[in-house]
Structure 1
């Protein structure tokens, strides 16, 4: 073979190999990212939106969703890229620490994490690749409303977080944007830029303030480090969204849709002191639990039915109970409410299943046997069923997984 033919032969082989590579890459499907303890925290810390499918291999509906989820991951990467959005999946049997952290109790559960913060509401929409793409496109919409003057700030039913910046390019504003994304479902977020807001920026420094729902008064944090996104988000959430909310018949449906267990202080309507003490305890001792439980107060006379369900009446008020949406459990003694660690342990016992087990089978550590007798097992009991789940949204309003796949 002469030199000319050898060169042609090599070029043909190179072109053929290149074409095969193109065909392979085009036809390959990467699917969703398989999360483990090694890559999960790193991904959620560095990605704006992480959409997670918590599944179990033995679950029929998990297996039905799996190919749809992988198809959605490829579609989202194609349309939106992978810099801001990642679709991932967690095998809850293999990664039980991650599943426990997010209180996963049914499969599949779909949760969205924004800058590491889980959205309170699970995804309950249609299970299709196109629907997942549409959902994420909406979630990527800019959560910050730009204002041209302070006259653009109106009184709102939700709390408002308002930032004043020299420019959009500042490091402070990038941190503010991440905070806005994390709180987009809970607060209205507004921002003003430039010289027209110089009077709102003392000493020329960027500033962030909050207006509580229904208020026209601004709350500022004198030592707030705006560049620290975590601290900014925690402060804005505390100021904008009360940790303890009142549940009524008009907002019960909205609260149950968040699908978090309720810890409720039932009190008499003329008792204003106990709710204030309860709110203080939650703020000081239980802030870290806010992603896993809703802290509420309730008029014990309006909600007499749940009290009756617990075997209680208005004469037992005030009292604290947890409604897990399966059962209701009463905090043993409200006098211990302010004792450090008592309410935290009550919540931990809910998430570990201890409350449920002990309601059925008595204390986990049996009392010492009386000499000459045989230890006895306490008879099973049945904790009261959840009442508040009946106030939740009708399932007929949503497309359930079993009806869609």
Structure 2
């Protein structure tokens, strides 16, 4: 009898001990300075909810997030796969500052310890969180088993192809980690064993990059990774450089994310039935323009963004149209054809930073602005149409977030 009682006590102590060592199944983890490094090092995927107890949007989200955590933990219970965590920003100010939190709630995504460029901005429901995590944990790499499959790949985005001797290797594991991080920017394919023989050096693995079909620089269209495949950091840096393009496509799905970066837009509104203008714009940006750290170069489907066009005094019939949106005003580039004249588009962008466009807003257009081309002064009229910014309306909404009175530049 005594043995049974002691046995029962040990069972209870073991259960309590297990719950002490790990979060109770179905709960999110309280994350702070004391445990964040350990969590990031031990979890493949981390979803962090940065909140405060006084934010009404955080309060509404709390029970939804907890139930989502319960369902996610019940399904993806394997150790190290996913951690659903929450950070009380009033109590963990240093963590909030580290992650540059400027609104509540903010839902950050981390893969293998690195912060993913995009936050979770989807629907705040149990089902949406669950589906998001399931999609994030899905294998981002498509395996090819015949060479014919490589010919059927869509060429409208960058492509990374890995030719491996076997799947069970550190080099492939690094490739998979990189793919998880950059799967929205590039496609990832891999082949193993016999199908890759003759496509890689004997006894070695090989990773190649093929740029999307609209990239103008053919010198960079195809390249092979020559670094250390056993180094995740090296492979990540190389792949990031290949996949992250200077010119991005803006849509309603990513507009909030891009506007929150706080950089003025230099935008091409294009006709989706004529993508030649997209390639021309990318060519000019890649080969002729600077300011890449001061502005965001973007392309936008003119049909999708007719409303901003209307405020520029333009319509779909006027495409292509180039404009700057400074988040205060929009400035239209006078003639699209002038992008082929050296220095003209660069001078237009420079006029945003040297005050000429702002001066025009208050005092009207100057008679002309000198633009230098091959040491010859050319006159180009500064545009006079200066409507208010339309894309500032796509910034994070006060109807969805509690916005802090600071920017990331101040952090």
TM-score, normalization by structure 1 = 0.65
- For residue 240 of structure 1, the aligned residue among 227, 235, 243 is 243
2:44 is matched with which residue?
A: 48
3-state SS of paired residue (2:122): coil
3-state SS of paired residue (1:142): coil
Instruction: Give the CA deviation at 1:278.
Output: 7.3
The runs of at least 4 consecutive aligned structure 1 residues that moved more than 6 Å come to 22-28, 215-218, 267-274, 277-281, 298-301, 399-402
Please tell me whether the aligned partners of residues 158 and 243 of structure 2 are also in contact (alpha carbons under 8 angstroms).
yes
Instruction: Give the CA deviation at 1:263.
Output: 2.9
Instruction: Give the CA deviation at 1:246.
Output: 5.1
| Cα pair distance change 1:172/1:124, threshold 3 Å | same
Report whether the alignment pairs 1:161 with 2:160.
Answer: yes
| CA–CA separation in structure 2 for the residues paired with 1:262 and 1:125 | 21
What are the equivalent positions in structure 2 for 1:290-369 lying under 5 Å apart?
295-296=296-297, 302-304=321-323, 306=325, 310=329, 314=333, 317-319=347-349, 331-332=353-354
| CA–CA separation in structure 2 for the residues paired with 1:220 and 1:93 | 48
Instruction: Give the CA deviation at 1:306.
Output: 3.5
Report whether the alignment pairs 1:388 with 2:391.
Answer: yes
1:225 is matched with which residue?
A: 228
Instruction: Give the CA deviation at 1:151.
Output: 2.4
| Cα pair distance change 1:138/1:271, threshold 3 Å | closer
1:91 is matched with which residue?
A: 88
3-state SS of paired residue (2:234): helix
Instruction: Give the CA deviation at 1:309.
Output: 5.1
Please tell me whether the aligned partners of residues 266 and 318 of structure 1 are also in contact (alpha carbons under 8 angstroms).
no
3-state SS of paired residue (1:88): strand
Please tell me whether the aligned partners of residues 267 and 318 of structure 1 are also in contact (alpha carbons under 8 angstroms).
no
| CA–CA separation in structure 2 for the residues paired with 1:62 and 1:307 | 31
Instruction: Give the CA deviation at 1:83.
Output: 1.5
Instruction: Give the CA deviation at 1:69.
Output: 2.6
| Cα pair distance change 1:93/1:49, threshold 3 Å | same
| Cα pair distance change 1:120/1:294, threshold 3 Å | farther
Cα deviations by residue, 1:316-347 (Å, 9 ceiling, x for unpaired): 942269xxxxxxxx53479xxxxxxxxxxxxx
Instruction: Give the CA deviation at 1:198.
Output: 1.6
| CA–CA separation in structure 1 for the residues paired with 2:232 and 2:90 | 33
Q: Note the residue ranges of structure 2 that are not aligned, 5 or more in a row.
A: 269-276, 301-311, 313-319, 335-344, 357-386, 403-411
| CA–CA separation in structure 2 for the residues paired with 1:143 and 1:311 | 39
| CA–CA separation in structure 2 for the residues paired with 1:22 and 1:211 | 54
| Cα pair distance change 1:52/1:155, threshold 3 Å | same
Instruction: Give the CA deviation at 1:123.
Output: 2.2
- For residue 105 of structure 2, the aligned residue among 108, 122, 129 is 108
Instruction: Give the CA deviation at 1:224.
Output: 1.5
| Cα pair distance change 1:155/1:56, threshold 3 Å | same
Cα deviations by residue, 1:199-246 (Å, 9 ceiling, x for unpaired): 12124310111111127986334531122112212211221231x115
Please tell me whether the aligned partners of residues 175 and 226 of structure 1 are also in contact (alpha carbons under 8 angstroms).
yes
3-state SS of paired residue (2:103): coil
Let me know the Cα RMSD of the aligned residues: 4.1
| CA–CA separation in structure 2 for the residues paired with 1:272 and 1:174 | 33
2:173 is matched with which residue?
A: 174
- For residue 3 of structure 2, the aligned residue among 11, 20, 27 is 11
Q: Note the residue ranges of structure 1 that are not aligned, 5 or more in a row.
A: 1-7, 287-292, 322-329, 335-383
Please tell me whether the aligned partners of residues 211 and 240 of structure 1 are also in contact (alpha carbons under 8 angstroms).
no
Please tell me whether the aligned partners of residues 54 and 89 of structure 1 are also in contact (alpha carbons under 8 angstroms).
yes
Report whether the alignment pairs 1:202 with 2:212.
Answer: no
* Aligned residue-pair number: 320
- For residue 118 of structure 2, the aligned residue among 94, 118, 121 is 121
- For residue 275 of structure 1, the aligned residue among 249, 274, 285 is 285
TM-score, normalization by structure 2 = 0.64
1:364 is matched with which residue?
A: none
1:326 is matched with which residue?
A: none
